[in-house]
């Protein structure tokens, strides 16, 4: 057993790409114990994120990908909590659409293990929705944070620049459907699902 828990809120703002802007609600996920936590993605509002963090030390800001609705306030949050931003380097072109004069601090890579409290998250590189999209899997917690790679109802969107449908399907089948079927999927937008439910739907 671990003392690490998952805290969640929903925060609202906009997503822009390819000249279009949409209103979006983003899930905000914070993983940690009473002392320290990881913030998964930094959408829309530093205030909303800090409300979930509370008085805990933020160990890192881990970005599932660099669409602006997931990284917009990452640099401002970094300022506020003095924690490094982690991103897969393949998402650099997307990051630079939002943040032209500052970078993230450390690269994520497939198979990387991130320690938090008495447990770990494993980085799964799952390109397709974005070239540097990653999922974060916790065997102890029985859950995976999928960003926009897998939602309740199927794969994330692949209609815009830097996305590719065959690539996302390969990623999901190779990396996510390899996880235990009862693994809870915490998504970037909308409701939770499970690996088994999505595997049945995509078969
Ligand atoms: Zn996205």
| pTM for this prediction | 0.97
Does residue 202 register a pLDDT over 90? no
How many angstroms does the Cα of residue 38 sit away from the middle of ligand 1? Answer: 20
Find the 34 Cα to ligand 1 centroid distance in Å.
Answer: 30
In whole angstroms, what is the distance from residue 30 CA to residue 5 CA? Answer: 8
| 3 Cα–ligand 1 center, Å | 30
Measure 4 CA to ligand 1 centroid, in angstroms: 27
Which residue reads 């828990």 in tokens?
5
Mean pLDDT, residues 163-188: 98
Mean pLDDT of 13-25: 95
pLDDT of 2: 83
Percent of the chain at pLDDT above 70? Answer: 100
Q: What is the 3-state secondary structure (H, E, C) of 36-54?
A: EEEEECCCCCHHHHHHHHC
Residues with beta carbon < 5 A to ion ligand 1?
Answer: 67, 148
What's the gap in Å between 152 CA and the centre of ligand 1?
15
């Amino acid at each position: 057993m671990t003392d690490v828990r998952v805290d969640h809120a929903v925060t609202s703002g906009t997503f822009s790409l390819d000249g279009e802007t949409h209103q979006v609600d983003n899930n905000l996920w914070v993983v940690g114990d009473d002392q320290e936590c990881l913030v998964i993605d930094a959408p829309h509002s530093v205030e909303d994120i800090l409300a979930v963090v509370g008085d805990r030390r933020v160990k890192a800001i881990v970005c599932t990908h660099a669409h602006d609705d997931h990284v917009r306030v990452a640099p401002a949050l970094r300022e506020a909590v003095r924690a490094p931003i982690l991103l897969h380097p393949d998402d650099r072109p997307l990051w630079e659409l939002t943040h032209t004069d500052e970078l993230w601090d450390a690269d994520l890579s497939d198979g990387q293990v991130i320690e938090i409290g008495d447990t770990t998250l494993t980085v799964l590189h799952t390109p397709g929705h974005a070239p540097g999209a990653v999922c974060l899997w916790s065997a102890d917690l029985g859950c995976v944070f999928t960003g926009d790679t897998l939602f309740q109802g199927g794969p994330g969107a692949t209609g815009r620049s830097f996305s590719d449908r065959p690539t996302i399907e390969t990623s999901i089948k190779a990396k996510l459907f390899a996880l235990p079927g009862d693994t809870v999927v915490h998504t970037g937008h909308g409701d939770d699902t499970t690996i088994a439910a999505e595997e049945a739907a995509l078969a």
